[in-house]
Amino acid sequence: MRQEAVKTAVSRFAELPTIQRSVVILKDVLDEPLKDIAELLDLTVDAVKAHLARGRARLREINAHAATLAEARPASAAVARYVTLFNTRNWDGLRALLADDVKLHQSTYPVRVGAADVGMFFTIYAKFEGVRLAPAWAEGREVIAVFEDGTDAKPSYFMWLEWRGDRISFIRDYRYARYIVTDAELMLAVDGEAAANKNTR
């Protein structure tokens, strides 16, 4: 169970109820005695054991589900189009995909709102030579892997989009929060890498 807990991505622990999460981390990651955990959380030892059993069972389910979701899948048509436009440096085509009230979130900057303001996002990326994108999946969510150099084997970070119809309503770019990609189980979409390479030629 310790190995099961240690190999679990941090993001998955967030899916456990607070008490279960606390008990599992204290016992299976930090190896604290049951008695100490009970005192720390103001619970009986029997209650700690019950929460631990339920938390471990739920964690196994979460890990098994994530493993299933990690299987390679094809990209959606919308994401494939976005990647193609980006890799061919069609910035006007990308701006045309933005909803009027689109929002852009980057961790170190204020949220950008509106197609005109968010459109500057592509102006900035136009200055970075060698950056290419590939459709990908991270723990069941479709994302876009960002490679900063054509020779990179692994993406530097990723971004994900939300859509309203055929328009982009939200962009979250993790350029300034790269630790996220370390925690996530990222897998390129089927033919995603091939498509990315083809579109950058």
pLDDT digits 0-9 by tens, 140-171: 788 999 998 767 778 888 898 999 999 999 99
d(CA 87, CA 123): 14
Which CATH code for domain 2-69?
1.10.10.10
Query: Strands across the sheet with 157-164, in order?
Result: 112-113, 98-106, 167-173, 157-164, 141-147, 132-138, 186-188
Confidence at residue 198, expressed as pLDDT on a 0 to 100 scale: 41
Domain assignments of the chain as residue spans, ordered by start: 2-69, 77-199
Fold of 77-199: Nuclear Transport Factor 2; Chain: A, (3.10.450)
pLDDT digits (tens, 9 = 90+) for 73-115: 789 999 999 999 999 999 999 999 999 999 999 877 889 999 9
Confidence at residue 178, expressed as pLDDT on a 0 to 100 scale: 75
d(CA 157, CA 170): 17
pLDDT digits (tens, 9 = 90+) for 20-62: 989 988 988 788 999 999 999 999 999 999 999 999 888 888 7
Instruction: Enumerate the H helices of 31-151 as residue ranges.
Output: 34-41, 45-69, 77-87, 91-95, 115-125
Highest-confidence segment of 116-120, 135-139, 145-149: 116-120
pTM of this prediction? 0.61
d(CA 117, CA 137): 28
Count of CB atoms situated within 10 Å of the CB of 3: 8
